[in-house]
Each structure stands twice: as structure tokens, then as C-alpha cells.
Amino acid sequence: MEFESTSLRNVWLIKPKIFKDDRGHFLESFRREIFKEQGVEYNFVQDNISSSVKGAIRGLHYQKNPQSQSKLVMAVYGEILDVAVDMRKDSPTFGEHFSAILNDENRNMLLVPSGFAHGFSVLSEKATVLYKCDQYYHKASERGVLWNDPALQIDWEVENPILSEKDKDLPLLRDVNPDDFF
């Protein structure tokens, strides 16, 4: 696996080694010792799978402390634009984002640590996304930022987004309760 640093400290683009032959391909999506060698240690406790149609946007979501989640995200089918937004109030990159194309060809993964909001848009006809979390889902701690907040300047690469009612009503970054930052 290749760990590529991004413009946001502690957000990693991970490129697994893919072994291809006439049968198809094989890869390791997670191996604790390899992550540990990179200084990236998480105790993942929950796996989630979402299936979405083209144009869907999920996010931007996070959980406030102490239930804040780190996520390892992979598109197992289709293609997504995966996005992490820095929510660490004392960070020099607060409010900035990093995005990467994850798909079933490149098999890249994005490691989104605690302190970041996360979301993705679906670029293919359908996409199935698998993500590991190091904390359990905790409804009372769930927070978010509006996907199209002009301050974030995220190009989701989607013309007519499909959103949940919950995601349509998330606040702008400037309106987030300061106690919900990291």
C-alpha cells in the first residue's frame, strides 16, 4: 500500500497494491501492521455500506467529541468523489477541503480522521461505498455542514444533486455551534 499525504494534515489517500490476472484482481484493503508502520493507528469497530444512485450526495457529516469518528472509505462498486472538510478550529486549514476520486478500478481509499466532516457524491450510475469507523454511530452526537456552503467551494461534479431532507437542512459552516468544532 502507498500512503499519500494530502493538503489536509492526517488525511491520507491510500493506494493499495492490486494483483491482476486472468481471473480478475485481488487486494488488501486494510492490514493493521502496514497502517501502523505509517504511524496511522486506528481501532476500527464498525463497518458501514451505502448504496447510492448517480447524482446522490451524502454529507457533509461528522460526530462531535467524544464520539467523533475516523473513517476509512472505499468505493467497492462504481465511482464517487470523496470529500473531507477540516473542522479543527485551531487548524491552519480549518474550513478547507480535500477531495479524491474513489472507484472500483483504482481501489483508492481515503482515510478521514476525527476532526473532519465527510461526504461524497456519486459520479457513476450506481455506487456502493464501504467505510470503516473507529467509533460507533451515536445519533445524539451527529452533526453536519451544508453540502453547498459557498465558503467551502466544493465542486461535487454533480449537476442535479439528490439529497436527503436531513442533508438539505444542515447549517452553513459559519452557523455551526463553536462547541461542535474540534
The residues annotated as belonging to the active site are 61, 131
8 Å CB contact between 31 and 73 = no
C-alpha span between 27 and 19 (Å, rounded) = 6
C-alpha cell at 99: 477531495
Pair 102, 109: CB distance under 8 Å:
yes
Greatest CA separation for the chain: 54
Q: Which residues of 103-115 are buried (b: 16+ CB within 10 A; e: fewer)?
A: beeebbbbbbbbb
- Amino acid, res. 164: S
